[in-house]
Amino acid sequence: MLIVHVHVRVVPDGVDAFREASLANARESVKEPGVARFDVIQQEDDPTRFELIEVYRTADAAAAHKATAHYAAWRDSVAPLMAEPRSSTKYRTVFPETL
Amino acid sequence: MLIVHVHVRVVPDGVDAFREASLANARESVKEPGVARFDVIQQEDDPTRFELIEVYRTADAAAAHKATAHYAAWRDSVAPLMAEPRSSTKYRTVFPETL
């Protein structure tokens, strides 16, 4: 499993639009066979900060996700909402072993 | 649901011991009725960095976790392994709605 956390900060006016675009993207992403999880979470004390928690069954699945129409639509719709460039961190699982 | 990400950096010699202590803690923590998830993940490009991804059904469940014997054992055993103080960030879920 490959786990990717995407760290996002949006402009204050972009919170609702980011949320909607990311919901639409997540609903399609979880249908991809290589996606085990695609969570979207919002920081309690700063609603302009979000994390995408993407769990892929293989490294190829992460590349396949970036080739989908829903990813492209999300990427383009959220581009003007970013307060700073997105960053991401890759992890491997320790527990649960099945993650 | 209350989501807590705990950010950990351990000393290089502490990686294996932290991993084992956190596995033991996670295996017990997922048995708590208020715990929906208790993932432990390790950063790909820096194995001294870990995240605990704790998903609680209620805020009370987070407090209940800190009152358990397995939490106390974990806290004490990892204390000498920390390279810097732990920090945590709280989130609410956007997707999936059932998280």
pLDDT per residue over A56-80, tens digit each?
999 999 999 999 999 999 999 999 9
pTM: 0.94
Provide the pLDDT for residue B98: 77
Look at residue A97 and tell me if it is in a domain: no
CB-nearest partner of A3 from B41, B93, B95: B41
Measured between beta carbons, the chain A residues lying within 8 angstroms of B92 are: 41-42, 44
| Residue contact B44–A92, C-beta within 8 A | yes
| Residue contact A94–B19, C-beta within 8 A | yes
The alpha-carbon gap from A42 to the nearest alpha carbon of chain B, in Å, equals: 5
Look at residue A78 and tell me if it is in a domain: yes
Look at residue A99 and tell me if it is in a domain: no
Look at residue B96 and tell me if it is in a domain: no
CA distance to A13, A29, B21, B81, per residue, from A44 (Å): 17, 24, 28, 29
Both tokens of residue B45? 């490009």
| Residue contact B39–A89, C-beta within 8 A | no
Interchain CB contact of B87 with A (< 8 Å)? no
DSSP code for A98? T
Look at residue B98 and tell me if it is in a domain: no
Domain tally, chain B: 1
Measured between beta carbons, the chain A residues lying within 8 angstroms of B96 are: 26, 30, 39
Q: B75: closest CA among B34, B18, B13? A: B18
Structural domain that includes position A79: 2-91
Provide the pLDDT for residue B76: 98
Phi-psi region of A10 (alpha: psi -120 to 50; beta: other; left: phi over 0): beta
Average pLDDT score over chain B: 97
| Residue contact B40–A95, C-beta within 8 A | yes
Helices and strands of chain A, counted as H and E runs: 3, 4
Interchain CB contact of A97 with B (< 8 Å)? no
CA distance B66 to A37: 27
Provide the pLDDT for residue A93: 95
Both tokens of residue A13? 């006016």
What CATH number does the domain containing B37 carry?
3.30.70.100
CA distance A82 to A46: 15
Regions of chain B with pLDDT less than 50:
none
Interchain CB contact of A58 with B (< 8 Å)? no
CB-nearest partner of A91 from B23, B42, B94: B42
Furthest CA-CA distance within chain A: 40
CA distance to A71, B26, B65, per residue, from B85 (Å): 37, 20, 20
Look at residue A14 and tell me if it is in a domain: yes
E-state strands within B1-99 = 2-9, 35-43, 49-56, 87-95
Look at residue B55 and tell me if it is in a domain: yes
- pLDDT, averaged per 10 consecutive residues of chain A (99 residues), comes to 97 98 98 97 98 96 97 98 98 89
How does strand A2-9 pair with strand A87-95? antiparallel
Q: A58: closest CA among A87, A35, A28? A: A35
Look at residue B99 and tell me if it is in a domain: no
